[in-house]
Amino acid sequence: MKLFRLYQLFALGATMLLFPACDGILDGIYDQPRTTTGYGFNPNGDGTGTLFIDATDYAQWTYINLHTEEIDSTRITGTDGTEIPMGENASLPSDWDFAIHRYDVKTNGGAVLETEATSLDAVLLMSSIPTGNYVSDTETQITIDMSGMMEGNILYATSSYNAELAKWLDVDTSTMPPIYTLSNKVYILRMADGTYAALRLTAFRNEQNTSGHLTIEYAYPL
C-alpha cells in the first residue's frame, strides 16, 4: 500500500510540472462549498474516491456499500425508528457498511477510530492500519421532523449511532444559526467482515451554500 501511494504521488507531481503557467489550477479544490452536480460514488480507479450525499431530508437514511460502490435509501416513518424502502428496492438494505442521516452516522456492525491524520494520503502511506480504541455504535435519538421547530415541536426517533464517526462534523446548536465545524480528520471504519476503510468529510454544503450536502473522501480497502 505504501509503495503504491508513493508512486501515485510521484506521478501527480510529474503531471503538475506540465502546467507551470496555469496559476491557480488547483485553487479551491478543497474549499467549501463543493461544486459537483452529481451524487453517489465518484471513484478514482485506485480504491480511493469521493462520495456525494444529499442528506437534506430529515426523514431519510442513506445506506452506503463500499464493497460494491452502491447506495440505497430508506424513509423513517415512526418515532421507534421504523424504516420503509425507497426507490425500486422492495426490501430494506441488508448489505451496507455505513449510513448517513443528516449529520448522524451509523455502521453495520462496525467500529470507528478517529486518527490525527488530515488527509487520506497520510493514512495510505502508513505501514499498517491504525490501532486504538475502535468505537462501536450505541443508541440515540435523531431528529426526523423540524417542521414544528418554531413552535418548539421537534420530532425524534430512536436509532443506532456511531459517536466516533459523527465527530467529523461538530454542530453547535446553542446559537442560531448553528455553527458547523469540520474536524478535517480521517476516520478508520472497521467493518463486520474485518476489512477497513478510511473516511474524511470535506464539505457539508453544496454550491448554493445549502447545508446537508456531504462530500466524503474514501479509501477502500486499506
pLDDT in tens, 149-173: 888 899 999 999 999 999 999 999 8
Is pLDDT at 28 greater than 90 in this prediction?
Answer: no
> What pLDDT is recorded for position 17?
38
Tell me the C-alpha distance between 32 and 30, whole Å: 7
Q: Max CA-CA distance within the chain?
A: 59
Q: What is the pLDDT of residue 1?
A: 55
Reading the block at residue 164, the C-alpha cell is 466516533
pLDDT of residue 149: 84
Q: pLDDT tens-digit profile of 6-16?
A: 444 444 444 33
Instruction: State the Cα–Cα distance between residues 121 and 159, nearest whole angstrom.
Output: 33
- Domain borders along the chain are 50-87+104-222
CA-wise closest residue to 196 among 112, 114, 119? 112
- Three-class secondary structure of residue 12 per DSSP: helix
Tens of pLDDT, residue by residue over 48-66, are 999 999 999 999 999 999 9
Supply the pLDDT for residue 90.
78
Distance from C-alpha of 179 to C-alpha of 198, rounded to nearest angstrom: 26
CB atoms within 10 A of CB 60: 18
